[in-house]
Amino acid sequence: MARVVVLGAGVSGHTAATFLRDWLGPQHEVVVVTPNSKWNWIPSNIWVGVGQMTKDDVVFDLAPVYEKVGIDYRQAKAVSIHPDGGEAEDVPYVTIEYTGQGKEGEKELVSYDYLINATGPKLNFGATEGLGPDNGYTVSVCTADHATHANEELQKLIAKMKGGERQKIVIGTGHGMCTCQGAAFEYIFNVDHELRKAGVRDLAEITWISNESFLGDFGIGGLHMKRGGYAASSRLFAESLYTERGIPWIIGAHVNKVEEGKIHYEQLDGSTGELEFDFSMLIPPFSGVGLKAYAKDGSDMTDKLFAPNGFLKVDADYSGKPYEEWKASDWPRTYQNPDYPNIFAVGIAFAPPHGISKPMKSPNGTPINPTPPRTGMPSGIIGKTVAMSIRDMIEKNSDKPTHHASMAEMGAACVASAGKGLTDGMAASLTVYPVVPDFEKYPGIGRDIDYTFGEIGLAGHWIKHILHHMFLYKAKLKPGWTLIPE
Amino acid sequence: MSVKKELVVYPDDRITIPSTDVRKFDETLFEVIDMMKEIMEENGAEGLAAIQTGYPYNIVLVKDSNGSILELINPRILNSEGSVSKKEKTLYYPDIEIEIPRYETIKLVYEDRHGKQHHMEASGDLARIIQRKIDYTFGGTFLSKVSKEQREAVEKALAKNGLVPEMELCPPTSKRVYFLSVSDKILFFMFLTLFAKLFNISEQTLSSLYRFDKIGVVVVIILMFGYFIFGRWEAKKYSSCTSCQIGNMLGSMAKRIVAAIAIGAGAYLFLGS
């Protein structure tokens, strides 16, 4: 009998846990430890943030779903990993602290044979003074609750505009090292769409601010869409879209402080600026969730298991090589920790070897460039791949992972909403292959343009809406869920 | 010099290839820059992007007000102010002059030939040339900045001079539309059956119509998947055919599948019960 413990139940953790439960016999245990009681289809938070969906439309209770399939669910946050066991324990274990199920605050040891770290990120609002909805002045759409709050603030703003008041809106990234520019991109165009529907767009001054060095970078060094047999850059596509909607942009920007109604930022040329706002949604930077690791004698070995940014080290090249030497092969393939073969990390929780976008710094030494995204389709694929490897290691006694899913070898599809509506909605449907450019295999832009294309229109919105229902159906493990791709 | 010396001019559409950032600041880069300078001198150009010489690298050369050539590697425009329309010429479109709106002042970051990052502010003609050249590095020409009508007029003028782009046109008809056509006809007849109860029709006939609707739903869904698979196969032959793209096809599919399900549901209510 083996016990697999999955820390986190986001897209990648939930995918890994549910497939393992489906594949492994009842003699094996699958335990999910997550501080949340609900599963959240995060891509649709954008629509919650503009009032087109409610929180209940994008979340569901995990407990009944896990109970139905026999997953041992513990509503708790992981505190530490003890890969060699402890003074009183010979087997590896994690310590957890309950956040629900009537055991709030209780601590527990959970031993494991295999551990999947899928904790996702800590939303590091603290990295920028005044950022975030809790201790700051900006809103967020990173969680369903944040998105609900964002919509409440947006509706107040719309009410003011209906009263004839001009309002300033700033949307983008709240730090020089943010990822998820795509979410901010979706939000700014959805806000624009809602303001047009409300008939108040002319009273809003909307500005985009981000850490991208060019518009349309999206954290992956830009996309290249096939056009006339050649690739067209996402910069041209994005610039025309922003211009059409009357949205000016500030790029290469590190937001270093937010005050009530005022954003302070530094740009790649070292200059500083200020932006006034009445409503601002800025994505925070991500970091690891702060898990600690301890050796058998109780000494701290967090640095051995985790990279300095708090994400778990896997089979990637962390030598810190310069940009000109970055290679596709630097990226992990099996997501197995090099020191502990029974520990894996999936989704945002694995430490990337380096960025995808060109690393850049201001003359003051402030790094300003997008960090690599590990969300959406790739995180689901990685979760399933790791589950397949662990299944084979348990059932076929494989001594190493049997499956691989490097982001430099996989493609990804993304449907970015630019406004919700059955007849007037719009979304950009994009695919990239591979996610991480492989400059050796595809000299030039590093991607295969036959599998890299994009288009914007109403059909994209319908696809996005269908995907919303499809992935919620899959996550609820309803009949046929295994047939729905990641 | 081992790099090839060439000037890419219309209708050579290599100009639309987005340039990749320079990652290695080595002898090859210096050779490309020297070659670009030679082309600039020979053609009296005020600026040149590497892709105009067939090299898809993010390199821009521009002459400043003193006539010295600025080497801008991996340039990015960070800020812009003002807007001015002015007539522009470029080596890529021989003998064409067209009014293009551009930012009046820009602030940019770039690297020198040794990879050291710099920043600068440019205004007036220098800003205009830099913007035009940076557009080239992202796969855009100055015609990307004008209306469709203006672009077509320029292309017509170029065609009069014997310059016609080799176009790989999307065929006006495609065999995949047969899938849509058959589906639409089935959907039309399925829709008509919803009104059958308004007429004095026997129960047996109503039952047959209901069976037709049930089969119709399945057939339309199968046809739509066939349409998508065939369309993707067909699209590979016509890389410039934008309507072949997946978004449009999924849209066409979705519309008919939704219609089939809706009519199927209507048939269940009106004929099935």
Domain end position, chosen among B160, B191, B208 = B160
Percentage with pLDDT > 70 across chain B: 92
ipTM over 0.90: no
Contact B246 A361 (CB under 8 A): no
Cα separation of A32 and A20, whole Å?
11
Contact B246 A429 (CB under 8 A): yes
Contacts 24+ apart (CB under 8 A), A143-149: A143/A40, A143/A42, A143/A45, A144/A38, A144/A40, A144/A45, A144/A48, A144/A55, A144/A58, A144/A59, A145/A55, A146/A45, A146/A49, A147/A45, A147/A46, A147/A48, A147/A49, A147/A55, A147/A58, A148/A48, A148/A54, A148/A55
B120 and B225 belong to one structural domain: no
Are B47 and B133 in contact by the 8 Å Cβ rule? The answer is yes
Residue A71: both structure tokens together:
């997953």
* Structural domain count, chain B: 2
B35 and B133 belong to one structural domain: yes
Contact B144 A360 (CB under 8 A): no
What mean pLDDT, rounded, does chain B reach?
87
For B248: left if phi > 0, alpha if psi spans -120 to 50, otherwise beta; the answer is alpha
B20 and B92 belong to one structural domain: yes
Contact A444 B13 (CB under 8 A): no
Cα separation of A453 and A230, whole Å?
10
Q: Which amino acid is present at B180? A: L
* Chain A CA closest to residue B239: A229
A3-123+287-395: CATH topology is FAD/NAD(P)-binding domain (3.50.50)
* Amino acid A259: pLDDT: 97
* Chain B CA closest to residue A362: B117
Residues of A in contact with B248 (CB under 8 A): 455, 457, 459
Q: How many CB pairs under 8 A join A and B?
A: 122
Q: Is the pLDDT of residue B244 over 80?
A: no
Residue B162: both structure tokens together:
């014997």
B22 and B152 belong to one structural domain: yes
Tell me the shortest Cα–Cα distance from B139 to chain A, in angstroms: 6
**Residue A312 pLDDT class (50, 70, 90 cuts):** very high
Owning domain of residue B57: 13-160
Specify the DSSP class assigned to residue B63.
Answer: E
Domain end position, chosen among B93, B126, B160 = B160
Residues of A in contact with B140 (CB under 8 A): 232-233, 236
Contact B13 A457 (CB under 8 A): no
Task: Report DSSP letters for A72-110, one per residue.
Answer: EEEEEEEEEEETT--SS-SS-EEEEEE-STT-TT-EEEE
Instruction: Kindly state whether B141 is in contact with chain A, defined as any CB-CB distance less than 8 angstroms.
Output: no
Tell me the shortest Cα–Cα distance from B236 to chain A, in angstroms: 8
Instruction: Kindly state whether A324 is in contact with chain B, defined as any CB-CB distance less than 8 angstroms.
Output: yes
Residue B167 maps to a domain: no
Percentage with pLDDT > 90 across chain B: 52
Q: Say how many Å lie between the first and final Cα of chain B, rounded.
A: 83
Cα separation of A410 and B246, whole Å?
19
- pLDDT, one tens digit per residue, over B257-271 is 999 999 999 999 888
Q: Is the pLDDT of residue B241 over 80?
A: no
Contact B242 A455 (CB under 8 A): yes
Contacts of A411 (CB under 8 A, 6+ apart): A431, A432, A433, A434, A435, A451
Which of B265, B18, B227 is closest to B137 using CA atoms? B18
Q: Where are the beta strands (DSSP E) in A195-271?
A: 204-209, 224-227, 230-233, 249-250, 253-259, 262-267
Q: For the stretch A419-448, what's the b/e string if a residue is b when 16 or more beta carbons lie within 10 angstroms of its beta carbon?
A: bbeeeebbbbbbbbbbbbbbeeebebbbbb
Give the CB-side neighbour count of residue B266, counting CA atoms within 13 A.
19
B201 and B150 belong to one structural domain: no
Q: Is the pLDDT of residue A230 over 60?
A: no
Percentage with pLDDT > 90 across chain A: 79
**Residue A457 pLDDT class (50, 70, 90 cuts):** confident
**Residue A192 pLDDT class (50, 70, 90 cuts):** very high
C-alpha A259: how far from chain center? 26
B145 and B18 belong to one structural domain: yes
Q: Domain boundaries in chain A?
A: 3-123+287-395
pTM of structure: 0.83
* Amino acid A226: pLDDT: 59
Parallel, antiparallel or unpaired: strands A427-432 and A453-457: antiparallel
* Amino acid B238: pLDDT: 65
Backbone φ and ψ of A335, nearest 5°: 65, 25
Residue B166 maps to a domain: no
Contact A324 B107 (CB under 8 A): no
Instruction: Kindly state whether A199 is in contact with chain B, defined as any CB-CB distance less than 8 angstroms.
Output: no
Cα separation of B128 and B67, whole Å?
16
Are A381 and A13 in contact by the 8 Å Cβ rule? The answer is no
CATH number of domain containing B51:
3.90.45.10
Q: Which amino acid is present at B184? A: D
**What is the dihedral sign for C-alpha A405, A408, A411, A412?**
positive
- pLDDT, one tens digit per residue, over A356-389 is 888 999 999 999 999 988 877 899 999 999 999 9
Parallel, antiparallel or unpaired: strands A38-40 and A59-61: antiparallel
Mean pLDDT confidence for A449-472: 86
Residue B171 maps to a domain: no
B188 and B231 belong to one structural domain: yes
Are A211 and A254 in contact by the 8 Å Cβ rule? The answer is yes
Tell me the shortest Cα–Cα distance from A85 to chain B, in angstroms: 45
- pLDDT, one tens digit per residue, over A9-61 is 999 999 999 999 999 989 999 999 999 999 999 999 999 999 999 999 999 99
B136 and B188 belong to one structural domain: no
- pLDDT, one tens digit per residue, over B33-46 is 999 999 999 999 99
* Amino acid B185: pLDDT: 93
Cα separation of A80 and A117, whole Å?
11
Residue B1 maps to a domain: no
Which of A328, A376, A386, A324 is closest to A352 using CA atoms? A328
**Residue A456 pLDDT class (50, 70, 90 cuts):** confident
- pLDDT, one tens digit per residue, over A55-78 is 999 999 999 999 999 999 999 999
Contact B139 A232 (CB under 8 A): yes
Cα separation of A405 and A12, whole Å?
13
Contact B24 A324 (CB under 8 A): yes
Mean pLDDT confidence for B224-229: 90
B232 and B258 belong to one structural domain: yes
Mean pLDDT confidence for B168-173: 58
Nearest by CB: A457 against B14, B74, B247: B247
Cα separation of A151 and A281, whole Å?
10
Task: For residue A392, give the 3-state DSSP assignment.
Answer: helix
Interface test with chain A among B138, B151, B243, B256, by most A beta carbons within 10 Å: B138
**Residue B245 pLDDT class (50, 70, 90 cuts):** low
Q: Which of A209-223, A435-449, B98-112, B140-154 has the lowest mean pLDDT?
A: B140-154
* Chain A CA closest to residue B110: A269
* Amino acid B1: pLDDT: 52
Contact B18 A213 (CB under 8 A): no
